[in-house]
Amino acid sequence: MDFISILSIFVLACFVGYYVVWSVTPALHTPLMAVTNAISSVIIVGALVASAEAGSIAAKILGLLAVVFASVNIFGGFAVTERMLAMYKKKERK
Amino acid sequence: MHELAPVSPFIALAYLVAGVLFILALRGLSSPATSRRGNRMGMAGMAIAVATTLYTHDVVSLPEILGAIVVGGGIGFIIARRIAMTDMPQLVAAFHSLVGLAAVFVGAAAYLNPGAFGILDPLTDEIHNASRVEMGLGVAIGAITFSGSIIAFLKLNGNMSGKPIMLPGRHLINLGTLAAILGLIAYFVTDQSPWIFWTVTALSFVIGFLLIIPIGGADMPVVVSMLNSYSGWAAAAMGFTLGNSAMIITGALVGSSGAILSYIMCKAMNRSFISVIAGGFGAESGPSGGGAAAVDRPYKRGSAEDAAFLMKQADSVIIVPGYGMAVSQAQHALREMGDLLKKEGVSVKYAIHPVAGRMPGHMNVLLAEANVPYDEVFELEDINSEFGQADVAFVIGANDVTNPAAKTDKTSPIYGMPILDVANAKSVLFVKRSMGGAGYAGVDNEVFYMDNTMMLLADAKKMVEEIVKGLAH
């Protein structure tokens, strides 16, 4: 992809992020941080590229370490978000 | 095989789908009812992104990669299951540091093996100029996120004092280091020698550390949000390097999310972002313009029985929890108290100040953990007018967020901060460990000395348990 199309995606995504995040209810701000933390670990894509490709041993080791870190975050982040969200209950109407 | 540019449209489409799923994950959080579906969409998006990446590369080391995912995933999963809800701020800080470190490692890997990332100029066999800047920025932001989050973690976890640590001339040192980092990244365009890359990395680790040490405990909600934002920008910068839409969309989402949360937190404290970053808040102790010292002013002290009696007679009680509730783990006892009061026909509501606790939404999670229904929990602007009609305001572990000095005393360091108007309730029950320590802002609170205030001086959890006993018979 050329730089301008990438930049367009980035700028538009910033606007989407702005509006989506303002619509998040303040009661869920902690789960929001946990889930954004999990999805920012999409950086694992870069780590996978580094550890998959032949070329440099050092790059491969760095890549694999980054895969470990990002995986901690992905599984930990989504699991802890799930755990938190399961606790939010409505009043039981009798 | 190395050139990423002419990707098949299906692959680009897969990453786009992943990005859209991430947007929907955040969108789901607009209400607790849709939030879990949102979280699942986030998981699906991540699965698609990982699978697409593995599918489109000549993976020569699949067992190692799967091993790394299993090890990391296992650790993450166990931590997520075991962590206490009160420790959530530390956990989030620790997770941020991992994103930061991963970004640094990915950036370093891209520098060492640019061919794999498709960022080599085929004519000169050098890294593209644009990629050098993106890489440099990604590594710098990642390193700042890492070391900053480590300090935030140590402060939140109590391994390091929450007091600001002030180095002499720190503004000059910080600005100089930042300028050096940016200058070196610019110079990196003309010269891609290793020393520049590694110096940028090292300086960024140092500046992350320097930026967070002068920031005090009460400002941690802003810091945690800010580091959340940084971790997003780091991912976005790496997304530029890889030309990957999923990473760019996610980075932008997370970046703006953290930025908005920081803004909300700053506004809730009436502080500017710059003043928080500059640090030092809460460093000078003692009464700074908040009236006389706490010890020599008369106040009314009550017992748990008095409190139980008063609340039993009330029609409506508004509970105001703060960080002290989290520290003493009083949320379960508090819910029990609420249940007993409801049985007596008392209306019970919870009022949450945006900066109560150590991270945005901290109190809401703790109350949810204790099974308090979320429709009994209200934000400041939704409930503040109701204190005037309430019989009892029950303040537990909160202080500065109820201090009327924020409205009346122009010299007070918290002047202008929106507060919960507990003083308007017919009576105020104030649970506090002792009369000694003022809030984080180091300001005395007028509410303690009002005629209709009863101070309940004890550990929050013990006091609430005593009140529960008093209500039970």
Q: How far apart (Å, rounded) are the C-alpha atoms in residues B440 and B431?
A: 16
Please spell the DSSP secondary structure of B212-247, one letter per residue.
HTT--GGGHHHHHHHHHHHHHHHHHHHHHHHT-HHH
Q: Please, which pLDDT band fits residue B440 given cuts at 50, 70 and 90?
A: low
Q: How many CB atoms lie within 10 A of CB B167?
A: 12
Whether residue B254 has pLDDT greater than 90: yes
Exposed e or buried b per residue across B386-420, where buried means at least 16 C-beta atoms within 10 angstroms of its C-beta: bbeebbbbbbbbbbbbbbbbbbebeebbbbebbbb
Q: Please calculate the CA angle A7-A12-A18 and round it to the nearest 5 degrees.
A: 130
Per-residue confidence (pLDDT) for residue B409, from 0 to 100: 84
Q: How far apart (Å, rounded) are the C-alpha atoms in residues B200 and B193?
A: 12
Name beta bridge partners: B316.
B347
Whether residue A42 has pLDDT greater than 80: yes
Write down the catalytic residue from B219, B315, B375, B400.
Answer: B400
Whether residue B356 has pLDDT greater than 50: yes
SS (H, E, C) B251-293: HHHHHHHHHHHHHHHHHHHCCCHHHHHHCCCCCCCCCCCCCCC
Cβ within 8 Å, pair B374-A27: yes
Q: Which residue has the tokens 């002047």?
A: B415
Q: Are B210 and B174 spatial neighbours (Cβ–Cβ below 8 Å)?
A: yes
Residue B301 DSSP one-character state: B
* Arithmetic mean of pLDDT, B12-24: 94
Q: Which two tokens stand for residue B56?
A: 């489109």
Q: Which two tokens stand for residue B148?
A: 């900053």
Q: Name residues whose C-beta falls within 8 Å of residue B473's C-beta, 6 or more positions apart in sequence.
A: none
pTM of the model: 0.88
Per-residue confidence (pLDDT) for residue B439, from 0 to 100: 60
Q: Which residue has the tokens 């101070």?
A: B455
* Arithmetic mean of pLDDT, A31-57: 91
Restricting to B residues 9-68, those with a Cβ less than 8 Å away from any Cβ of A are 12, 18-19, 22-23, 25-27, 29-33, 35-36, 38-39, 42-43, 45-46, 49-50, 53-54, 57-62, 64-65, 68
ipTM of the complex: 0.94
Q: Please, which pLDDT band fits residue B43 given cuts at 50, 70 and 90?
A: very high
Q: How far apart (Å, rounded) are the C-alpha atoms in residues B141 and B200?
A: 10
Closest partner residue to A75 among B25, B29, B73, by Cβ? B73
For A51, phi then psi, to 5°, come to -85, -15
Q: Please calculate the CA angle B325-B328-B329 and round it to the nearest 5 degrees.
A: 75
Mean residue pLDDT of chain B comes to: 88
**Biggest alpha carbon–alpha carbon distance for chain B:** 86
Alpha-carbon dihedral angle through residues B221, B227, B228, B230, given to the nearest 10 degrees: 150
* Arithmetic mean of pLDDT, B184-208: 91
Cβ contacts of A52 on chain B, cutoff 8 Å: 53-54, 57-62, 65, 116
Q: Are B44 and B23 spatial neighbours (Cβ–Cβ below 8 Å)?
A: no
Strand order, beta sheet including B453-457: B377-379, B347-352, B316-321, B392-396, B427-432, B453-457
Q: Which two tokens stand for residue B235?
A: 């991912």
B110 inside 8 A of chain A by CB: yes
**Which of A58-67, B269-278, B295-304 tops mean pLDDT?**
A58-67
Listed range (A78-82, B161-165, B356-360) with the worst mean pLDDT: B161-165
* Arithmetic mean of pLDDT, B139-144: 95
Q: How many CB atoms lie within 10 A of CB B60?
A: 13
For B52-106, the pLDDT digits (tens) are 999 887 777 888 999 999 999 999 999 999 999 989 999 999 999 999 999 999 9
A8 inside 8 A of chain B by CB: no
Q: Pick the residue from chain A with its C-alpha nearest to B253.
A: A17
Q: Please, which pLDDT band fits residue B280 given cuts at 50, 70 and 90?
A: low
A82 inside 8 A of chain B by CB: yes
SS (H, E, C) B173-187: HHHHHHHHHHHHHHH
Per-residue confidence (pLDDT) for residue B1, from 0 to 100: 38
**Biggest alpha carbon–alpha carbon distance for chain A:** 66
* Arithmetic mean of pLDDT, A41-66: 90
* Arithmetic mean of pLDDT, B122-144: 89
Residue B190 vs residue B275, higher pLDDT: B190
C-alpha distances (whole Å) from B2 to each of A30, B162, B244 are 40, 48, 15
Restricting to A residues 12-41, those with a Cβ less than 8 Å away from any Cβ of B are 13-14, 16-18, 20-41
**Active-site annotation holds for B391:** no
For B296-355, the pLDDT digits (tens) are 678 888 899 999 999 999 999 999 999 889 888 999 999 999 999 999 999 999 999 998
Whether residue A30 has pLDDT greater than 60: yes
Per-residue confidence (pLDDT) for residue B287, from 0 to 100: 37
Amino acid at B308: A
**Which of B96-100, B163-167, B291-295 tops mean pLDDT?**
B96-100
B36-39 long-range Cβ contacts below 8 angstroms, 24+ apart: B36/A82, B36/A85, B36/A86, B38/A35, B39/A31, B39/A35, B39/A78, B39/A81, B39/A82, B39/A85
Whether residue B397 has pLDDT greater than 50: yes
Per-residue confidence (pLDDT) for residue B277, from 0 to 100: 76
Per-residue confidence (pLDDT) for residue B3, from 0 to 100: 45
* Arithmetic mean of pLDDT, B410-424: 87
